[in-house]
Amino acid sequence: MFESLSEKLNTTFKKLTGRGRLSEENIGEALKEVRLALLEADVNYRIVKKLIEEIRRRAVGVDVLESLTPGQQVIKIVNEELTRLMGETRADLQLVGKTPFVLMLVGLQGSGKTTTAGKLAQHLQGQGRSPYLVPADIYRPAAIEQLKKLGIQLDVPVYPGDSQTKPEAICRDALSRAGSVGADVLILDTAGRLHIDDALMSELERIKEQTNPTEILLVADAMTGQDAVNMAEQFNRRLDITGIILSKMEGDARGGAALSIKEVTGKPIKFVGVGEKLDAIEPFFPDRMASRILGMGDVVSLIEKAQQEFDEKEAVKLEKRLRKREFNLEDFQTHLKQMKKLGSLEQIVGMLPGIGQFKQLKKLKPDEKGLIRIEAIINSMTVQERQNHKILNASRRKRIARGSGSNVQDVNRLLKNFIQTKKIVENLARKGYQNMPSIFH
């Protein structure tokens, strides 16, 4: 749908040949792209503005790391900043002190509170807790029925509420009954409401007052637009929430609302909902979310890995050979060794700047275990064979297979793979390698 930010940045930085230091001028264009990417991702306009200024301030004057292109350097800074805003470390439920604990779920209509209540119940069951589901939504038709059904599915007790009783009375009574049903955590499923609906917001305040919740969790749809800030601000102002649960994260929303909500409330995001099934709830990882908002997968962490682990000398040697358009099995092996340190070929390929045009490379995906076998095979070759694969006839292949504990098909597959890679790599080198910002520098 959206061209990924890293692709956009690569285009932007193609023009930029000067290296060394990030300056006001050379990051201007890049920051424009970052800004649009954040806006496309539904991060609130004002937060984007603030963020871009912060990034500009941090980026100007920074030395471009040896192993990075300026584009990657900017992404790195952006990503660090986003991760920092997103909370850096992951936050869990704080269930300490006297039982029974009370978790109160609040949010707009349709944000997924009832489903989340079921998911939390299952999650807590898994931790050896005894949850008690409390239906406090007396407005939406059949909302109580929905929670009861989830309770049956999970074999979790559900407070027998009805839509004639006031929600605060339901919650209060449920709390007093918790002991008798053997529960140690109550999950209050409140009705969806608009943050500007004063009467219904007061109702939440009353529930809070009467049940003294351990956690008040705002359930927010990951697809929310610019209005996320107003919504979150109001819920937080009225209830002083303790955390956020982002729902519907399994879709293709970039989820900029997460950043907006975190920023205006200052409260941690504790879980993300990733499906309709009751086990589809995961802890929240700030760094992953940052990459998702930027629309670039895990490229950033790879950039960081590359920085630490790429063996410079080997890389320079490989690059020289590439420039001469020589790529033999020894290079292939070196290449694979580097890769083992870095992660899968697919990820590496995604990280190569300008790789968008070389889609075919993305198809070459040796699995991680396969890499070990490949290495064994190459190790069983003679130096001559490694330097010139063309001499590998049937009997040589048979010998290699035996020596490496594999079979001839494996050897053939490896060779096929190698020849493909060689073609692409040499092709890459021929087609203006100079234009391609190198990661081997």
Partner 1 sequence: MKLFGNKENREEGKNGKASGLIERLKQGLSKTRSGLAGKLDQLVFGKKQIDDAILDELEEILFTADLGVRTTQELIDLVQSAVARKELNHPEKLKDILKENMRSFLHLPRIEHQRPKPGEPLIIMVIGVNGVGKTTTIGKAAHRFRNEGKKVMLIAADTFRAAAVEQLTIWGERVGAEVIKQDTGADPSAVVFDGISAALSRKADVVIIDTAGRLHTKVNLMEELEKVRRVVNGRLDGAPHEIWLILDATTGQNAISQAELFHKALGVTDIVLTKLDGTAKGGIVVGLCHQLGLPVRFIGIGEKMDDLRSFDAQEFVNAIFD
105 beta partners: 189, 217
Burial 189-208 (b: 16+ CB within 10 A, else e): bbbbbebeeeebbebbeebb
Least distance to partner 1, CB of residue 29, Å: 16
| Backbone φ, ψ for residue 157 (5° rounding) | -65, 145
The two tokens of residue 94 are 């704080």
Q: Which is nearer to partner 1, 150 or 171 (CB)?
A: 150
**272: helix, coil or strand?**
strand
Least distance to partner 1, CB of residue 147, Å: 8
Q: Which is nearer to partner 1, 223 or 400 (CB)?
A: 223
The closest of 219, 198, 249, 4 to 104, measured between CA atoms, is: 219
Burial of 89 (0-12, 13-18, 19+ CB in 10 A): exposed
Q: Does a cis peptide bond (omega within 30 degrees of 0) precede residue 286?
A: no
Least distance to partner 1, CB of residue 32, Å: 11
The two tokens of residue 286 are 């700030």
53: left (phi over 0), alpha (psi -120 to 50) or beta: alpha
Q: In this structure, what DSSP letter does residue 158 have?
A: B
Q: Which is nearer to partner 1, 203 or 331 (CB)?
A: 203
Least distance to partner 1, CB of residue 100, Å: 25
Q: Which is nearer to partner 1, 39 or 415 (CB)?
A: 39
Least distance to partner 1, CB of residue 48, Å: 8
Q: Which is nearer to partner 1, 21 or 46 (CB)?
A: 46
Least distance to partner 1, CB of residue 170, Å: 17
Q: Which is nearer to partner 1, 110 or 405 (CB)?
A: 110
Binding region for partner 1 (CB under 8 A): 1, 36, 39-42, 44-46, 108-112, 139-143, 145-150, 153, 194-196, 198, 221, 223-231, 233-234, 248, 250-254, 256-257, 264, 276
Q: Which is nearer to partner 1, 112 or 243 (CB)?
A: 112
Contact (CB, 8 A) for 12 and 31: no
Q: How far apart are CA 58 and CA 75, in angstroms?
A: 12
Q: Which is nearer to partner 1, 276 or 279 (CB)?
A: 276
Q: Which is nearer to partner 1, 275 or 370 (CB)?
A: 275
Least distance to partner 1, CB of residue 316, Å: 41
Least distance to partner 1, CB of residue 320, Å: 43
Give the total residue count for the chain: 441
Q: Which is nearer to partner 1, 230 or 307 (CB)?
A: 230
Paired sense of beta strands 101-106 and 185-190, if any: parallel
Burial of 142 (0-12, 13-18, 19+ CB in 10 A): exposed
Paired sense of beta strands 131-136 and 281-283, if any: unpaired
Q: How far is CA 274 from CA 222, 243, 246, 283, in A?
A: 10, 18, 9, 10
Least distance to partner 1, CB of residue 301, Å: 24
Q: How far apart are CA 199 and CA 286, in angstroms?
A: 35
Paired sense of beta strands 243-247 and 215-221, if any: parallel
Least distance to partner 1, CB of residue 213, Å: 23
- Containing H/E element for 314? helix 312-323
